[in-house]
Amino acid sequence: MQVAALTVAALVGVGALAVQAAESAPEAAAQPQATASPSASPTASARPTAEAGGDGAGEPGAASPAVPAQSGSGKRVVYSPADGRVWLVGADGEAVRTFTVVPAPLTPAPGEYRVTSMSPPGGQVQGSDGVPVEHIVRFAVVDGAAVGFSAAVDGSLPTPTPGQQTGGIREKRTDGKALWEFAEVGTPVVVV
């Protein structure tokens, strides 16, 4: 049992290998049920505010991608692996922030999941690529590997090594902090 928990923790946030992550992820091994529609076609239902993403989204004159259609309602994190993009959606259905990410090699099926665990405030662990990561937000398990968002402490956004089966979705540090502050255990994460 402990080996399985450590294995899950080792793959979290680009394969985090610390006991600290394993202790903070007791629920990460539970596979959530997918319930959302797999549609990833965007609509003009929401527009990010000036607080939007680290990739320039929301700046004057910049068009930000709309929240994908049929991604649920209320406060949620919406993740499109195909677009390499995340939306932080407020309770009113409006995008608070949107930003790009480097998708993980292991991707959950389209559907609704829930945040199962998060790294502690100021917590850092070492990713499987040897890079320290922070602001880890876990929400699914694929093929026994925990899937979650994380940011490299050094700010790097490496492309995953071909054949590497990890669930770490890499984001910029500012975006990682924003997602970590927005989410809490139980927050819906909708994969489209």
Query: Considering the entire predicted model, what is its pTM?
Result: 0.69
Average pLDDT of 101-116? 95
Q: What is the count of structural domains for the chain? A: 1
Range of the domain at 94: 2-191
Average pLDDT of 38-61? 37
Contact present, 149 and 179 (Cβ < 8 Å):
yes
The burial class, CB within 10 Å (0-12 / 13-18 / 19+), for 95 is: buried
With cut-offs at 50, 70 and 90, classify the pLDDT of residue 102: very high
Q: Is the pLDDT of residue 93 over 80?
A: yes
**Amino acid letter, residue 7:** T
Share of the chain above pLDDT 90, in %: 47
Q: Residues 51-80: pLDDT tens digits?
A: 344 444 433 345 679 999 999 999 999 999
Distance of CA 168 to the CA centre of its chain: 8
The burial class, CB within 10 Å (0-12 / 13-18 / 19+), for 131 is: middle
The top-scoring range by mean pLDDT among 19-33, 89-103, 149-163 is 89-103
* CATH number, position 105: 2.40.440.10
For residues 34 and 36, give the distance between their C-alpha atoms in angstroms, rounded to a whole number. Answer: 6
The predicted pLDDT at position 130 comes to 67
Higher pLDDT, 133 or 40: 133
Q: Residues 136-146: pLDDT tens digits?
A: 999 999 998 88
Contact present, 146 and 11 (Cβ < 8 Å):
yes
The string of DSSP codes covering the chain is -HHHHHHHHHHHHHH---HHHHHT-TTTTSPPPP-S-----B-SS----TT--TTSTTSTTPPPPPPBTTS-SSSEEEEETTTTEEEEE-TTS-EEEEEE-B--SS-PPSEEEE--EEPPTT-EEE-TTS-EEEEEEEEEEETTEEEEEEEETT---PPPPTT----EEEE-HHHHHHHHHH--TT-EEEE-
With cut-offs at 50, 70 and 90, classify the pLDDT of residue 123: confident
